[in-house]
């Protein structure tokens, strides 16, 4: 892959709205991505392998639970810092950002928000340090967009729970040390359970041959009469709202992350268009290419403002699920559109792994699908503005 020459676009001087600490955190993540991700990511994506050596670095830049309070090993940062870290990581690769999102929002967040004090103390510091890695099991083979229909279940056996069922499409599952698993009790109520790798009857086969998020490991979670200690149940919240609360946090991070992928595609295409000469002129001098580039920077700027405002709302504890859906949907769609257009600006060069664009483009196919598909988020907005849910 080519040297990473990335320069972040900031058309509306959004930096002026950020605090000194926001910029310090963002720039550290940006530098780290340039130094430790860009030089290796193409190779790992091609090999379809997760680069495990970056876990320590992710922890060092605060990618694991940045908004978790310091007493539990987090960095105690605000939501805008969290968003900026996700943006920078996804600028490198959506798969790496997925690993960080899962660890922060889908593993640390539920343990922090719904867990007991013992669970927080036991797991959070090690998760923040990247010494323990987690995954999040909600989706099942027969229940994706409709997680409420899940069949994974547990029975109360007196001194333990007995867990049965299967989860599919689980990021980080092949190497995770623990899984936050959503399953129904005997009354059909959804609860979260912490399942540890060495529990008997628990296995995590890897899902191979993905064309997307190739540098992120995805797999199944299979529970065959797994005995889960009672103290591993997250008691703080139950019902579908519990996993959806985690998704709110992760989707918020994705709304920022997608901007990173889009910025990288735009920046690459802009540089290429100014250097590539056809018909005796740089291709950037043709109106058709300018239209693409001008629309890209317009959409990126809008997405940045959307994410920033959502970050303020999140900091104030006021962001609604529907507001988060709108930003996730808009920003991921913006990014995937930009990736496709940017790839065309590079012509044949855009097809190779020399440049990051096609990797981003393929990665974003997963991002537009997971954490609620593009359609489902539209239905959430639709239900919010009309008051009439149209899911069923």
Partner 1 sequence: MKILVCISNVPDTTSKINFTEDDTKFDTNGVQFVINPNDEFGLTRAMWFKEKQGATIHVVSVGEVSVEPTLRKALAIGADEAIRINTIPTDGLFVAQQLAEVVKNGQYDLIIAGRESIDYNGGMVPGILATLLDINFINTCIGLEIEGDAVTAIREIDGGKETLATTLPLVVGGQKGLVEESELRIPNMRGIMMARKKVLNVVEPTDSIRGTEDAKFEKPAPKGAVKLVDSDKIEELIDLLHNEAKVI
- Considering only residues 47 to 86 of the shown chain, the ones binding partner 1 according to CB under 8 A are 59-62, 66, 70, 75-76
- Give 312's contacts (C-beta < 8 A, 6+ positions apart): 80
Angstrom distance (rounded) from CA 324 to CA 250 = 10
- Give 61's contacts (C-beta < 8 A, 6+ positions apart): 28, 29, 32, 85
25 interface partner picked from partner 1, ligand FAD, none, CB below 5 to 8 A per type: partner 1
Candidate list 145, 185, 203, 285; residue touching ligand FAD; CB under 6 A: 145
211 interface partner picked from ligand FAD, partner 1, none, CB below 5 to 8 A per type: none
Between 20 and 49, how does the x/- string for binding to partner 1 read (CB under 8 A)?
Answer: xx-xxx-xx--xx--x--------------
User: Residue 111 in contact with residue 120, Cβ under 8 Å?
Assistant: yes
What minimum distance in Å lies between the beta carbon of 99 and partner 1? 17
32 interface partner picked from ligand FAD, partner 1, none, CB below 5 to 8 A per type: partner 1
- What SS3 state is found at 161? strand
User: Residue 371 in contact with residue 247, Cβ under 8 Å?
Assistant: yes
Per DSSP, 66 falls in state T
* Cα 83–Cα 84–Cα 88 angle in degrees, nearest 5: 120
Considering 90, 220, 341, 371, which one is annotated as catalytic?
371
102 binds ligand FAD (CB under 6 A): yes
Per DSSP, 145 falls in state S
**Count of beta carbons in the 10 Å neighbourhood of residue 196:** 16
> Cβ closer to ligand FAD: 218 or 232?
218
Find where tokens 């991002």 sit.
367
218 binds ligand FAD (CB under 6 A): yes
- Considering only residues 177 to 196 of the shown chain, the ones binding ligand FAD according to CB under 6 A are none
Residue 223 β-bridge partners: 165, 202
Whether 295 sits among the annotated catalytic residues: the reply is no
Q: What is the dihedral of CA 68, 17, 312, 66, to 10 degrees?
A: -10
* Residue 35 Ramachandran class (φ > 0 left, ψ -120 to 50 alpha, else beta): alpha
Cα of 264 vs its chain's centroid, Å: 17
Angstrom distance (rounded) from CA 139 to CA 168 = 6
Find where tokens 């103390």 sit.
121
268 binds ligand FAD (CB under 6 A): no
What minimum distance in Å lies between the beta carbon of 384 and ligand FAD? 15
Contact region for partner 1 (CB under 8 A) — 18-26, 101-109, 169-177, 291-299? 18-26
* Cα 54–Cα 368–Cα 380 angle in degrees, nearest 5: 125
Residue in the shown chain whose Cβ atom is closest to ligand FAD: 144
169 binds ligand FAD (CB under 6 A): yes
What minimum distance in Å lies between the beta carbon of 144 and ligand FAD? 2
279 binds partner 1 (CB under 8 A): no
176 binds ligand FAD (CB under 6 A): no
- What SS3 state is found at 45? helix
> Cβ closer to partner 1: 242 or 263?
263
109 binds ligand FAD (CB under 6 A): no
Angstrom distance (rounded) from CA 245 to CA 113 = 9
Candidate list 322, 369, 381, 383; residue touching ligand FAD; CB under 6 A: 369
> Cβ closer to partner 1: 63 or 194?
63
Question: Contacts with ligand FAD: how many residues (CB under 6 A)?
Answer: 22
Nearest to 195 by CA among 249, 234, 156: 234
**Active-site amino acid positions:** 371
Residues that bind ligand FAD (CB under 6 A): 102, 135-139, 144-145, 169-171, 213, 218, 366, 369-371, 373, 375-376, 379, 391
Residues that bind partner 1 (CB under 8 A): 7, 10, 13, 20-21, 23-25, 27-28, 31-32, 35, 59-62, 66, 70, 75-76
């Amino acid at each position: 892959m080519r040297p990473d020459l990335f320069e972040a676009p900031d058309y509306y001087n959004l930096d002026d709205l950020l605090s000194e600490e926001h910029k310090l955190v963002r720039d550290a993540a940006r530098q780290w991505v340039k130094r430790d991700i860009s030089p290796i990511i193409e190779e790992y994506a091609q090999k379809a392998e997760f680069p495990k050596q970056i876990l320590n670095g992710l922890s060092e830049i605060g990618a694991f639970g940045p908004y978790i309070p310091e007493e539990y090993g987090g960095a105690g940062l605000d939501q805008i810092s969290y968003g900026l870290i996700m943006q920078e990581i996804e600028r490198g690769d959506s798969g790496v950002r997925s690993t960080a999102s899962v660890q922060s929002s889908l593993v640390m967040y539920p343990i922090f928000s719904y867990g007991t004090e013992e669970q927080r103390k036991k797991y959070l510091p090690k998760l923040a340090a990247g010494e323990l890695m987690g995954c999040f099991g909600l989706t099942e083979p027969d229940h994706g967009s409709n997680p409420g229909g899940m069949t994974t279940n547990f029975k109360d056996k007196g001194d333990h729970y007995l867990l049965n069922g299967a989860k599919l499409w689980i990021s980080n599952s092949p190497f995770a040390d623990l899984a936050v698993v959503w399953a129904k009790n005997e009354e059909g109520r959804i609860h979260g359970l912490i399942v540890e790798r060495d529990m008997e009857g628990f296995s995590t086969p890897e899902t191979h041959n993905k064309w997307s998020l190739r540098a992120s490991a995805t797999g199944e979670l299979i529970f065959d009469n797994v005995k889960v200690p009672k103290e591993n149940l997250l008691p703080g919240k139950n019902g579908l709202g519990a996993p959806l609360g985690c998704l709110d946090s992760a989707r918020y991070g994705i709304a920022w992350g997608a901007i990173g992928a889009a910025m990288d595609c735009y920046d690459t295409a802009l540089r290429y268009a100014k250097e590539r000469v056809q018909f005796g002129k740089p291709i950037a001098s043709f109106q058709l290419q300018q239209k693409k580039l001008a629309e890209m920077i317009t959409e990126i700027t809008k997405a940045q403002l959307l994410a920033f405002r959502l970050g303020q709302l999140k900091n104030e504890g006021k962001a609604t699920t529907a507001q988060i859906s709108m930003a996730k949907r808009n920003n991921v769609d913006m990014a995937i559109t930009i990736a496709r257009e940017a790839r065309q600006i590079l012509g044949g060069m855009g097809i190779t792994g020399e440049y990051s664009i096609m990797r981003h483009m393929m990665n974003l196919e997963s991002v537009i699908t997971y954490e609620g598909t593009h359609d489902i988020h539209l239905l959430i907005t639709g239900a919010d503005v009309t008051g009439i849910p149209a899911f069923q």
